[in-house]
Structure 1
Amino acid sequence: MERSRIAVAGASGLIGSALVRSLTDDGHEVVRLVRRAPRGPGEVRWDPERGSVDAAGLIGCDAVVDLAGAGIGDRRWTPEYKRLIRDSRVLGTAALAEAVASLAEPPKVFVSGSAIGFYGDTGDRVVDESAPPGDGFLPSLCVEWEEAAAPAEEAGVRTVFVRTGLVVARGGGAWGRLFPLFKAGLGGRLGDGRQYWSYIALADEVAAIRHLIDGESLSGPFNLTAPEPLTNREITEAMARVLRRPALFPVPAPVLRAALGELAGDVLGSQRVVPARLLESGFRFAFPGIDDAIRAAG
């Protein structure tokens, strides 16, 4: 990849910050989208909920990557928080896509965040990118989120949807909560542990996004998950094995529902998602197995 100018929304998040580090380490110019007054030429003002972007700051960008959005598991899903989850993604993506489409010389590629929540609860069924959306809040959110990128697609910009799985990392997301529990010897399976979790190491997530930025013929949805999803029970055993701690404290489903409310349905739900299109495109995982993914998280 030649030295490029790349705009990143959500640059302070778990994935965004890792992507920015990777790009800058390799000599690329990164433009961060910020919600405050810019502090230098490397920042561009935007307000995703109000649908405003300083499009002039995107001039000369070779790629725009949208990873912004309120945390899915950060709080209980009250009606107000569900609205924030939706608006921070759908309105933000729509604003960025419209800004991209308005440029006389738009970027070569628009990478739009999405999630494997698109598929809903798939049970034991293996699903790839050809599967239809599921039912419920997250699937309907993901459908709306991806549709919000339409202005960029209609302007002829190559548009990629990264349907990300559970990212194995210490710094945030679901795994950011699991690591301290297991290190303290308080980890255990969730519910009956038979639900499939489709995970991906943070380093592979970043490498996959960069692969999709570079792939001039790659567009549409790509599942960013390791090749072999595992059950929560198998992942629990791996966490205990790698961290050398017992996993003695299973959390029963009723307790999860009481603690998490509607979000518990997604924690207990099963998603056996595979990255068919990513593998077909020639991407190679550095940490395909769960043990290596956990070790890579540091």
Structure 2
Amino acid sequence: MRFNRGRRSFLLGTAATFVADFVLLVPGLLSGRSVRAAGQPVSADSTVITVDSTVIDVSQGAASGALALVTGTTFNTSGTPEQGVRVRALDPATRNEFARVFSDANGQYSLNLDPGIYEIRANKSGWGAISIAVTAGAGATHIVDFGNGAPPPPPQEGTGLVTGTTFNASGTPEQGVRVRALDPATRNEFARVFSDANGQYSLDLDPGIYEIRANKSGWGATSLGVTVVAGATHTVDFGSGTAPPPPPPQETALLTGTTFNASGALEEAVRVRALDPATRDEFARVFSDANGQYSLDLDPGTYTIRANKPGWGAISMAVTVVAGEIRILDISP
């Protein structure tokens, strides 16, 4: 029998054992990298019997060879395992699908993947949708749980974890908020996920300085500057009811505050930038959230802090920050 996997083919005899994920397209032909038969999920130790009576042993055990294993459990809002959740491995930039499985009766799923960076997305009608960024290492096993009762995965070796909760204006968790890690200067996107039914999200990132931006139609937009440290977990909440911004790493300073309008009310979506006073080069940029709050992680030094928004006006202030300091700077036109 012949099996297609990407651009490669495998010609198998009357009995074959393989470690991979495939989709049964028609009797006798499997293609892709997800396990399904007649529209149903196939468990890790199942066999598929084709029309010519060929028996194929489907194994999804520990990752072997150059593959990585992403496995975990899907939970419902009561904290119990949820069956039939679709879990996919997507390209974070193009959203192309590399693999697809469904969680079993115990809420468990497994994906065998080539090494690389993936958006692991879980969704089911009435259950919601969750995305988590994962860097899959050759021969490694990554545990990624989804939903209520699932703690955020620990940061992978050499990376840092940014995780938190998105809230609405009433202070309750908000589902479906898009959270992205951007380059503060170029706005290039490094990772993207969506908050789950509990408003929770997680991003696995290489060490460095990021603008973490959260937005959703009708919810607003919020940006926070975060310096990610290898092996560290950074908690960053968005919206009403958020915890105070995380303290700055010892070698940097945190500049945080609130933007107001001319009437003294909170003003959302004001752009706040840290500039070089002489050259006007930009070091960091964020936008105030639905509560007018903003935060910038900065190296020690003197900056021009410039805030502006169409119809709101523009204001600039000189600020000097020192390592380990948390500086409160409220801004109004």
Q: TM-score range by the shorter chain?
A: under 0.3
| Structure showing the higher helix proportion among its residues | 1
Q: Which has the higher contact order (CA 8 A, sep 6+)?
A: 1
Q: TM-score, normalised by structure 2?
A: 0.23
Q: TM-score, normalised by structure 1?
A: 0.25
| Structure showing the higher strand proportion among its residues | 2
**Structure number with larger C-alpha Rg:** 2
